[in-house]
Amino acid sequence: MPNTITEKVWRDKYRQATLDQILRRALIAEDICEVDRDTAKTIQNPYGDGATAVIQPLAGTYSVDTFTTHEDTLTVNYEVIVAEHIYDFESVLSNFDLFANRTEEQAFAVAEKIDKFVLNELVDNAGESYSTPSGGFADPNNITKIFGDLLAKVAGYADAYKGLFLVLESTDLSGLIQKQVASGFSFADAALKNGFITSYMGVDIYVTRPGTFMDGVMDSVSALTFTNEDHRVFGVKKVATYAAPRGIQFEEKQVSGKTGMEVVTYGYVGFKLWKVKEDLIVDITIMPESS
């Protein structure tokens, strides 16, 4: 029986596998948020008032509290898209290396945009705030105090077992790296041998590119206006939800009047930091070095 699998089928398989792999590895949002891939546009999250326990002398009687349910919703109202037209004379789709390059570039572009959206929304909705000592993370003398202060913000909460995270931009690393290599014995040895260690004092550290925490309007969407240039974010993992119905998808299509193919990578996104969990996320303001 002849092999009837077309070249496009193999391209589709390769592209989907590459997209899945890159998005799982590159997306900070995947690690620090719950991910909901349900196809619903609106995600409901009803919750009740916190329960209050009492201690009393042995009696066998009790008082019944009123239980109230509150509604909170996540609405998927944004999409992230990257599209390119590849002319036939460029021979991109017939050259595996070039095809692989465009697949990876589009996947990384989508991951970068999703993280920028989620991280800025996290900062804007954080229930706690913290200002670093003068010089922020760039001063190695500040590192222990900053981490200690941040840990004190969330210590004692039941959700803390899910893990803690801190998201920095690459320009913040100087002081943290200096602190790591100056730490005691095995930790410093590991930092000196392997470079930057991505966990410190029980906090998982994620690093993103400069400009992720932004001032201004994101891609001309007036509802996505932020003032977060000197901000970073810390908190408990999995207390916010990043929604991506049906995941990230791709299409190849012919365009009338043009040779070659139009290649599009896209997905629908939404974000919600649930009201009852807001105090588990901390908006960090980096204070400039004193003059």
3-class secondary structure, 42: strand
Residue 196 structure tokens:
């930057």
pLDDT at 206 over 90: yes
Burial of 264 (0-12, 13-18, 19+ CB in 10 A): middle
- For residue 97, with 0-12 CB atoms within 10 Å meaning exposed, 13-18 middle and 19 or more buried, which class applies? exposed
Q: Does 174 fall in a domain?
A: yes
Does residue 112 belong to any structural domain of this protein? yes
Q: How many folded domains does the chain comprise?
A: 1
CB 290 within 8 A of CB 258: no
Distance CA 284, CA 259 (A): 50
Q: Tell me which of 70 and 128 has the higher pLDDT.
A: 128
**Within a domain: residue 290?**
no
Q: Which H or E run includes 14?
A: helix 7-26
pLDDT at 3 exceeding the cut of 60: no
User: Does some domain include residue 1?
Assistant: no
Q: Is residue 41 part of a domain?
A: yes
Strand bridging mode 42-44 / 73-75:
antiparallel
Any domain includes 94: yes
CATH for 123 = 3.90.1690
- By the 8 A CB rule, do 175 and 139 touch? yes
Half-sphere exposure of 211 (CA within 13 A, CB side): 5
Domain that holds residue 250: 7-285
Confidence (pTM): 0.83
pLDDT tens digits along 179-200: 887 776 555 656 565 656 678 8
Examine residue 291 and state whether it is found in any structural domain, yes or no: no
Q: Is residue 2 part of a domain?
A: no
Closest to 243 measured CA to CA, from 282, 270, 206, 211? 270
**Confidence class for position 53, pLDDT limits 50, 70, 90:** confident
pLDDT band at 5 (very low <50, low <70, confident <90, very high): very low
Q: What is the pLDDT of residues 231-273, one digit of tens each?
A: 999 999 999 998 887 677 888 888 888 887 788 888 889 999 9
